[in-house]
A = this chain, B = another copy of it.
Amino acid sequence: MKLTIKKIAEMAEVSRTTVSRVLNDSGYVSGEARDRVLAVINATGYVPSQQAKSLRTKKTKIIGVILPKLSTETSSRIVNGMNDVFQEHGYNILLTSTNLDFQKEIEYLRLLKSKQVDGIILVATNINPNLTEEILNIDLPFVAIGQEIPGVSCVTNNDYAAAKEMTELLIGKGYESIGFIGVSDSDRAVGYARKQGFLDTIEKHQLVLREEWIQSAQFDIESGYEAMRKIGGELGVSPLPRAVVCVTDRLAIGAMQYIKEKGFHIPTDISVTGMGASEISRMVLPALTTIDFENEKIGQQAAYFLLEQINSNKTEEIKWEINYRLLVRDSI
């Protein structure tokens, strides 16, 4: 038996209006009427349809989230942070994942809009004109995470500064030959910005940088292993750098595996640094020097900005950079 506000009204012998009022604590209801309604609701276990309510109020209390990948630590931490603040404000998350298929970003933007979400957070890994246009036209509270997208609110890391600081740290410790394992420049943040931070610092200190010391990889451990192999070149013939900066922890761990496998010692023979402060980075031996981008905070901040947009009805563009923390551990 499907319960509706109408049935409850009949059972409590009041109008639907009155039931609605006790449901929402709005307007005047006599204590007597309220008690009768409450009694019926308790007895029946009636739960009002958010569906119907939303159709009238234009609020679903649902936030759409678009992730590049569901089961990475970064994603989890970001979603976790967002969820904390959304939950507190009575919002829930409708989750989608593109699995790195960039077409789907646009597809999901539309899907979420059709689901009438109150706002959208996109965890971006790239930007392209189509996507940007779609976002600008979405006409919904919106926040991007991870990439700087012109015209919309963004919460980002200072990837450039982080890479720079990491490189400076190594140079400060006396390392004069440093390699680099990055990812594709199409990822503006992790790929391009971190690489520039590294390169600019190397140049500033006028250090030697052999061509094969700079490698581009995918996001997985194997790829880091492979990239390190390439840096090694013909081992024993071409010179190895004394340190290697990797743009993610997984890449660093892959690189470490190769280095250990070849019988070199970390950090005596060669140092390795990662970025991301994944849980693994702490457990690996030696513990990995890395950068904590504080993903939970990113998620929280994005959530706050989105709620602000939702509540104020204005789409003020706001750019926010989350601080990072350098975690110096045994790998250097």
Residues of A within 8 A of B (CB): 45, 47-52, 54-55, 60, 62, 70-73, 75-77, 79-80, 83, 87, 92-97, 110-111, 113-116, 137, 253, 279-280, 283-285
Contact = CB atoms under 8 A, between A and B. Distances in A.
Nearest to A116: B51
> Could you say how many copies of this chain the assembly holds?
2
Contact of A60 (B48, B51, B83, B284): B51
Closest 7 CB pairs of A and B: A71-B76, A71-B80, A51-B116, A70-B80, A47-B114, A93-B95, A50-B114
B93 A94 contact: yes
Contacts of A279: 280
Contacts of A80: 70-71, 97
Contacts of A87: 96-97
Given A50-B115, A115-B62, A137 B71 contact: no
B95 A83 contact: yes
Contacts of A137: 45
29 contacts: A47-B114, A49-B55, A49-B114, A50-B114, A50-B116, A51-B51, A51-B54, A51-B60, A51-B115, A51-B116, A52-B55, A62-B94, A70-B79, A70-B83, A71-B76, A71-B79, A71-B80, A72-B76, A75-B76, A83-B97, A87-B96, A87-B97, A92-B111, A92-B115, A93-B95, A94-B94, A253-B283, A284-B284, A285-B285
A148 B47 CA distance: 27
Given A72-B76, A76-B76, A284-B284, 18 more contacts: A47-B110, A47-B113, A49-B114, A49-B116, A50-B115, A51-B51, A70-B79, A70-B83, A71-B80, A75-B76, A79-B95, A87-B96, A92-B94, A94-B95, A253-B283, A280-B280, A280-B283, A283-B283
